[in-house]
Amino acid sequence: MRIAIVDDIASEREHLNAELDVQLARLSLDAVTFGYASGADFLAAAKKERFDLVFLDIYLGNENGVDTAQALRRFDTNCMLIFITTSTDHALEGFRVRALHYLVKPFTQEDLAALFDEIVKRLPAEDRYIQVNAPGGPVRLRFQEILYAQHHQHQIHIYRTDGQETVVRQTFRELCAGLADGRFFPCSRGVIVNLEHAGDFDGTDFILKNGTRVPVSRDLAKAARMAFGDFLFRRREV
């Protein structure tokens, strides 16, 4: 995920950047943040490579953040836009440029946490990751590259889309907590599967798109069928 902070005051950009780092870590979001002192500099960068999220100060010295937002919308209608302001006087203009939210100064970590809980629902699936401790050191795995994981002999084997396997030592409960995302389903006390890689469920096994069968305990079969159906329905809505 690419994030832009547009504020003409360097200390304000640095402060928001530090606060964003807390939220990105809390939600295991993979992101790169860029800072811009003017709307013109931001627009020039956005035309070269689009941003997923922008925090845009309404008062940018001699520039107006609303004008910058209007210019952005002429070539990018999908970037999530958050206005940074000291008031909500520009609420109507914000509606016209499809601003997601107003972040009113001074804001708190609680304000940002609530905002990011909303933002994460709108992000592409590939922006989520989990960091695990493998024998060679910490490994960051994107959710989308995990097929399934299995607990075996005090280790967890994480099977990946590239055909490789990551082995970690932690409790299965800890792993499941890190994969708290609608695409993962715990098939038994020691197996969890990524539903985005499931092609079918035959009542006893999830059949992955690569042909691998992941068994589901009998008492979870009904829940597995419902979870898979709900996942497919939500994916069609996106």
Helix extents (H) in the chain: 10-26, 39-48, 65-73, 91-96, 109-122, 172-178, 221-237
Contact 184, 196 (CB under 8 A): no
Looking at the fold, whether 8 and 100 belong to one and the same domain comes out as: yes
The strand pairing partners of 167, in sequence order, are 157
Residue 129 lies in a domain: no
Give the domain CATH number at 198.
2.40.50.1020
Q: Higher pLDDT residue, 43 or 124?
A: 43
Residues 13 and 100 in one domain: yes
119 and 214 co-located in one domain:
no
3-class DSSP state of 20: helix
> Does residue 13 belong to any structural domain of this protein?
yes
**90 vs 210, more confident:** 210
Residues 210 and 175 placed together within one structural domain of the fold: yes
Give residue 135's pLDDT.
83
Predicted pLDDT of residue 236: 55
CATH number of the structural domain spanning residue 54: 3.40.50.2300
- Domain region containing 47: 2-124
Q: What is the pLDDT of residues 171-189, one digit of tens each?
A: 888 888 888 777 899 999 8
Task: Report yes or no on 135 lying in a domain.
Answer: no
Write the pLDDT tens digit of every residue in 109-124. Answer: 899 999 988 888 776 5
Same domain, 113 and 85: yes
pLDDT at 238 over 50: no
pTM > 0.85: yes or no: no
How far apart, in whole angstroms, are the C-alpha atoms of residue 108 and residue 45? 29
Q: What is the domain count for the chain?
A: 2
Q: DSSP characters for 87-104?
A: S-TTHHHHHHTT--EEEE
Same domain, 74 and 105: yes
Tell me, yes or no, whether 64 and 170 share the same domain.
no
Segment 48-78, tens digit of pLDDT = 988 989 999 988 888 888 899 999 999 888 8
Residues 95 and 184 grouped into a single domain: no
Residue at a domain's end among 73, 95, 124: 124
Does 165 share its domain with 89?
A: no
- Regarding whether 177 and 104 lie in a shared domain, the answer is no
